[in-house]
């Protein structure tokens, strides 16, 4: 953006400078040389923004050159040049440097006196007041932006801590429930198996067969209980709630702004475990691509279930104009996963946004 503004201002300066010089046939050699030096300094200012003293020297030098070039043939147009230099002073300098450079430019305005000394003094004072007021407002805006960025950073840290604490609390709760199941239900089932074995050994005939069947049933129940306890030790991957947690985590950890929305009963969609896992992995891959390849760390995510017959997710992020893309391994794997469930993936660039839209058919309610 700064580059485009630079060329706009350079164009305005060229027009003003050209009209100020007047008839080209009457331009003196020192005016040609001074004009070249002036625009050379203006072009170098963006490259000198990290060097305060050199920037002050450059701006003041440009004002002195303006005074020297138009010393003998002056007009009101030179006021626009000095106004531009004051704007450069406010924009590129800070602190005491603004007041020093601005005061020196005001001195050059008075020395040039394009209309009258009185007018030049009044205009110089007026320009200084406006410039210094603008600088103070700009400083306040920059300070407010710095405070906002600091608060945003703290907010993201708190948000990340909240998500981490929530995850730890959930994991601790699951561990406690698993321990209760293991200690109570598991021990009771083990005790039941021992009692059934003793009873089976004391029984004969059909009774022994029945007890053996009960023993096998109790044994299967114990194995399923143990499997359930082991499963609770692992973090769940699928499910829309897990996707929301993923979004919160990536937003907090990677400073990416995510706009999330859901409509058409998306959260009440009857997704199977496989479908939920595929959606989770697709969203994860899409957000990873945004963080890797997008210049703007901003993305929109939409969940919807129109007619409750399909589940659709859409991930979009802004891209540069005329930007092209090629499907890599991640997008191809995502397409294959959706196809295996009867779904489809649509990837395109539309209105300077990269769109990734996946659709999964849902099982009709009441069907087997």
Q: Give the pLDDT score at 84.
A: 81
Asked if 250 and 226 sit in the same domain, the reply is: no
In a domain, 50, yes or no: yes
3-state helix, strand and coil shares in percent for the chain, rounded to the nearest 5: 70, 10, 20
Asked if 179 and 290 sit in the same domain, the reply is: no
Asked if 227 and 262 sit in the same domain, the reply is: no
For residue 183, the SS3 value is helix
Q: Give the pLDDT score at 366.
A: 47
Contact residues for 120 (Cβ-Cβ < 8 A; gap 6+) = 109, 110, 112, 113, 114
Asked if 187 and 286 sit in the same domain, the reply is: no
CA–CA gap between residue 276 and residue 68 (Å, rounded): 74
Q: Give the pLDDT score at 359.
A: 92
Block means of pLDDT (10 residues each) for the chain, 368 residues, are 65 77 70 84 78 84 83 69 81 79 79 64 75 78 82 73 66 70 71 76 76 78 72 55 74 75 79 82 84 79 86 88 74 88 88 88 62
Domain end, chosen from 75, 100, 115, is at: 115
Asked if 223 and 246 sit in the same domain, the reply is: no
Asked if 289 and 332 sit in the same domain, the reply is: yes
Asked if 180 and 256 sit in the same domain, the reply is: no
Residue span of the structural domain in which 59 resides: 2-115
Domain end, chosen from 115, 141, 163, is at: 115
CATH number, position 274: 3.30.565.10
Q: Count how many domains the chain has.
A: 3
CA–CA gap between residue 349 and residue 351 (Å, rounded): 7
In a domain, 192, yes or no: yes
Asked if 7 and 39 sit in the same domain, the reply is: yes
Please give the model's pTM, rounded to 2 decimal places: 0.42
In a domain, 127, yes or no: no
Asked if 185 and 248 sit in the same domain, the reply is: no
In a domain, 158, yes or no: no
Domain end, chosen from 231, 256, 276, is at: 231
In a domain, 111, yes or no: yes
What DSSP string runs through 302-341?
A: EEE-GGGTEEEEEEEEE--TT------HHHHHHHHHHHHT
Asked if 246 and 227 sit in the same domain, the reply is: no
Question: What does residue 27 show for φ and ψ, rounded to 5 degrees?
Answer: -75, 135
Asked if 224 and 245 sit in the same domain, the reply is: no
Asked if 224 and 257 sit in the same domain, the reply is: no
Q: Give, in order, the Cα–Cα distances in Å from 307 to each of 140, 266, 269.
A: 52, 10, 10
In a domain, 130, yes or no: no
């Amino acid at each position: 953006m700064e580059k485009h503004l630079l060329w706009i201002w350079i164009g305005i300066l060229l027009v003003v400078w050209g009209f100020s010089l007047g008839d080209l046939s009457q331009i003196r050699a020192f005016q040609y040389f001074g004009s070249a030096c002036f625009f050379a300094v203006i072009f170098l200012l963006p490259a000198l923004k990290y060097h305060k003293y050199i920037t002050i020297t450059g701006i003041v030098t440009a004002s002195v050159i303006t005074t020297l070039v138009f010393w003998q043939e002056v007009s009101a147009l030179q006021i626009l040049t000095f106004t531009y230099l004051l704007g450069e002073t406010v924009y590129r300098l800070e602190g005491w440097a603004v007041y020093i450079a601005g005061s020196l430019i005001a001195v050059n305005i008075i020395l040039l006196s394009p209309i009258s000394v009185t007018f030049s003094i009044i205009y110089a004072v007026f320009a200084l007041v406006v410039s210094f007021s603008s600088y103070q407002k700009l400083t306040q805006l920059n300070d407010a932006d710095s405070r906002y960025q600091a608060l945003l950073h703290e907010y993201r840290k708190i948000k990340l801590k909240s998500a981490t604490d929530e995850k730890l609390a959930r994991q601790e709760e699951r561990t406690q429930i698993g321990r209760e199941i293991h200690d109570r239900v598991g021990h009771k089932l083990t005790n039941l198996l021992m009692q059934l074995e003793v009873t089976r050994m004391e029984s004969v005939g059909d009774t022994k067969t029945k007890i053996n069947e009960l023993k096998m049933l109790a044994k299967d129940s114990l194995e399923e209980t143990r499997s359930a306890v082991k499963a609770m030790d692992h973090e769940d991957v699928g499910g829309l709630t897990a996707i929301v947690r993923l979004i919160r985590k990536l937003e907090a950890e990677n400073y990416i702004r995510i706009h999330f929305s859901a409509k058409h009963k998306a959260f009440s969609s009857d997704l199977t475990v496989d479908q939920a896992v595929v959606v989770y992995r697709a969203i994860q891959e899409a957000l990873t691509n945004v963080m890797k390849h997008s210049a703007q760390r901003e993305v929109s995510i939409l969940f919807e279930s129109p007619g409750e017959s399909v589940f659709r997710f859409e991930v979009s992020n802004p891209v540069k104009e005329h930007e092209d893309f090629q499907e890599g391994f991640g997008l191809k794997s995502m397409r294959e996963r959706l196809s295996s469930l009867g779904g489809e993936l649509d990837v395109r660039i539309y209105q300077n946004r990269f769109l990734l839209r996946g659709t999964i058919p849902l099982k009709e309610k009441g069907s087997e």
